[in-house]
Amino acid sequence: MRVIIAGGGTGGHLFPAVALGEAFRRRDPTGMILFVGTANPLEISALSRKGFNHVAIEVEGLKRRGLLQQLRSLARIPKAFWKAIVIMRRFNPDIIIGVGGYASGPVALAARILGKKMVIHEQNVLPGFTNRILGRFAHRIFISFPDKLTVFKSSKTVMSGNPVRRELLAAKGIKKTAAQFTVLVLGGSQGAHAINCAVVEALDLLENPARMAFIHQTGSADAAWVARAYKKAGLTAKVKPFFENMADAYRAADLVICRAGATTVAEIAALGKPAIFIPYPFAVNNHQELNARYLADSGGAEVIVEKDLTGALLASRIDYYASNPELLQEMAAHASAIGRPDAADLIAEECRRLVVLG
């Protein structure tokens, strides 16, 4: 089967796409997979390491931009659309999968105009603008959370969950060996300055810091000063701008403090990790808080909105969970109960059926 996976640009769109590509490759090692996305270095590097072919198109978003930027973005759409047409004709895919991100729109629309099978995957509780439009034309719509707002036509919608990379799933259920209570801090692929500041402020307020260790993904801008803060506090810490091996990071973690992008929420649930979510407050349509509340409402996580975030509050919550391992076990079980580790395989199989059976 020949498959185009369109989207990417950020880790939140890219990593589920990689998981999906791997699922197709496992099912059909002789098949052809082409990623169509952006020229983002993270995207290019991640796909190259996995051995996937990648083509970039120039396209930008429209929301939360000034008038001149919006005009520039609009001007690029026709060129991106025609490049998608050319890619489609050369590659001749059996099916196109839009996974979100700016690149998915032109490619998915080109697929429908050329009469190709086209499906989309929505990662967030509240669908984005592009997928709301594409959902009208898609043959299947895969969603990560229940569609309580009935945004999409139910007869075309499949509750699949959000694909999680296979190397991360390998960390599920493996007991850690370190005696220290380990906190994993994630701000997304670019880091999160507000979380970095709150965690550093919390270090001097912890009741028993000697029994704790931290794994902290800071983003490139904050790595140096955050590392100095841990050293000054005399705490065991592994600090990096970005962790390539997230499986080891998750495996070591007793508690995760993180943003609430759809991919992070999916990973937390699939791995059954207790989490404190601090949603990015400027996410479009506040989708990060909606994602976080879904898991928190099940008992699998806690949510702290950024306007309430302080070092003192964070220190008290870390101390509380470190002193209540039975509560962490309950949270892990609740998170795991709604996780969908089979999401990538489910989507790949449904796409195969769609191509074979029509």
Q: Which is more confident, 326 or 149?
A: 326
Q: Is the pLDDT of residue 142 over 90?
A: yes
HEC-encoded secondary structure of 39-99: CCHHHHHHHHHCCCEEEECCCCCCCCCCHHHHHHHHHHHHHHHHHHHHHHHHHCCCEEEEC
pLDDT at 296: 97
pLDDT at 34: 97
Q: Six-digit token pair at 178?
A: 């370190």
The DSSP letter of residue 222 is T
Highest mean pLDDT of the ranges 39-48, 148-157, 217-226: 217-226
Q: Is the pLDDT of residue 175 over 80?
A: no
- Average pLDDT (253-267) is 95
Evaluate whether 168 touches 150 at the Cβ level (below 8 Å).
no
Give residue for tokens 């099940």: 298
pLDDT tens per residue, range 31-62: 999 999 888 888 898 899 999 999 999 866 55
Concatenating the DSSP letter of every residue in 132-155 gives HHHTTT-SEEEESS--TT--S-GG
- Average pLDDT (105-128) is 92
Q: Six-digit token pair at 320?
A: 């509380």
Highest mean pLDDT of the ranges 17-31, 34-48, 118-132: 17-31
The model's pTM? 0.89
* Residue 174 confidence class, pLDDT cut points 50, 70, 90: low
Out of 108-112, 176-180, 282-286, least confident range: 176-180
- Average pLDDT (207-233) is 95
Average pLDDT of the residues of the chain = 90
Concatenating the DSSP letter of every residue in 297-313 gives HTTSEEE--GGG--HHH
Ordered domains of the chain (ranges, CATH) = 2-164+341-357 (3.40.50.2000), 168-338 (3.40.50.2000)
